[in-house]
Chain A
């Protein structure tokens, strides 16, 4: 038995070392950093212990802007992307011809490099002195006035960001919802058909309740993912997000840690912990709602 224990721990040793050094220790350390006031990373000294870092971060206009941007992004993209994904998945499962083809095409954005494709979106939406760009060409074709989506007004930048985020998250949502729709027991539909139930009633009373666990799963992961938005924002607006007014909470954390305004691991830790609390709260609320509305 003793020998068996040894063997077990031996097999686990590599994982334990890696997790210990790069996950458990940092997790404890982030709390320490967040309460060390005036920490200087060069001399590794600090003045005292307290809540100053949190208060600094919460009063920093850049952080407040980041919070606003992130919340807007979450509130706009999660419902829209889940809704469109549901629509597309319903379409996908109702056809037989070309279904595999469409499914494969729709999944393509998942395997792309966010930074690289973001650059393509930037070019499609950007307006330069040399060219209005593709999207502006369409806008003027239908009689609208052109606008710079990348360096222009706030709402335009927010629009591109939401558009790109939705484009990026769709593959995962379509995949999950399509497999949920396929696995609904056909007997329910047959029974409903025998009773002459209308299509909309079938959708609201059978399909939606049966796939509600997947929808809630997508809403929860969607919330978490959107709250952590960062690289897609960099892809569109480049690394100096504060200057563009488009920073996100995660972007703020990294900027505090490193980059032009970097060197403040304490502020970064405080901001990261605030993000964690926000995400945890929202996830708990989601879980509570889920308990009320999910049937299985």
Chain B
């Protein structure tokens, strides 16, 4: 009897081990699939132009790494300018978005006024409107206003996000009413209450929407492409497309890869620092596409 039990235990252990091997193999394979393109772009970016082009069969390593390509992308094409534009665009858009969102969310969550609930329903309905429908008129509006190839034109249609207002309102609404009444008794103004109490309490949500917006801004492509055709106002996505089509010469793949690495690094660093927050934020309400 004891023998049997031992054997059963052993068999179960063996089964568990086989299962583990299968699972870890599967996960490792997918991990390699995810990481390989990153490895390849870094590898290609440190190969010299002549070395890269002489490899009919690409090699998985390089013996003579060079940083020349990184120099090239900052000197022969205005990658620095693209980066600067994107930083300005991201900072301003995110700041204005936060301002608009916080004020609107506070009004919906805290201030009682006639028509509030109806208005909130309309806001919720707006969440279903796809960008593709409104972008056509926005393009015409911005063009007619003479705002093509300006930061104003880039930023204005990008600042509002109904979804973030909704997300923050839900969070604001969870703050107990007693705090508000106590503050009112003390003679605190609404604005001061919002600034000193609500924002600190709801900081995690605010950080989440900030990060999501920064990612969105850094990667935005469609609107900037429509509204800018002057290189001086290109963001990185359009910059990389420009580099690919006209910039470094079609065959200078190593330099292109250097540009890709430079563009990818800021968000990857941001992700490595905040990966818990980002993943939590995305599972609460991010989508892609």
Contact = CB atoms under 8 A, between A and B. Distances in A.
Contact of B27 (A27, A95, A115, A279): A95
B55 A107 contact: no
Contact of B31 (A102, A137, A234): A102
A256 to B, nearest CB: 9
Interface range on chain A (Cβ under 8 Å from partner) = 35 or more
A239 B245 contact: yes
B108 to A, nearest CB: 8
A294 interface: no
Nearest to B111: A8
Pairs of residues from A and B, 6 with the lowest C-beta to C-beta distance, nearest first: A225-B289, A8-B113, A26-B137, A11-B107, A26-B134, A15-B104
Contacts of A114: 219, 221, 237
B226 A132 contact: no
Interface range on chain B (Cβ under 8 Å from partner) = 35 or more
Given A179-B283, A272-B133, A120 B37 contact: yes
Contact of B130 (A11, A167, A276): A276
Interface stretch (B68-76, B199-207, B264-272): B264-272
Contacts of A120: 37-38, 40-41, 257, 260
A116 B263 contact: yes
A105 B34 contact: yes
Interface stretch (A58-66, A85-93, A205-213): A85-93
A113 B263 contact: yes
B34 A110 contact: no
B160 A131 contact: no
Contacts of A279: 130
Given A113-B264, A114-B221, A4 B288 contact: no
Interface in A1-56: 4-9, 11-12, 14-15, 18-19, 21-27, 29-30, 33, 41
A9 B108 CA distance: 10
Given A102-B31, A105-B35, A116-B240, 17 more contacts: A4-B113, A14-B99, A15-B165, A30-B134, A33-B137, A41-B140, A88-B26, A94-B23, A111-B278, A113-B267, A116-B263, A120-B260, A130-B56, A131-B53, A167-B34, A254-B222, A258-B226
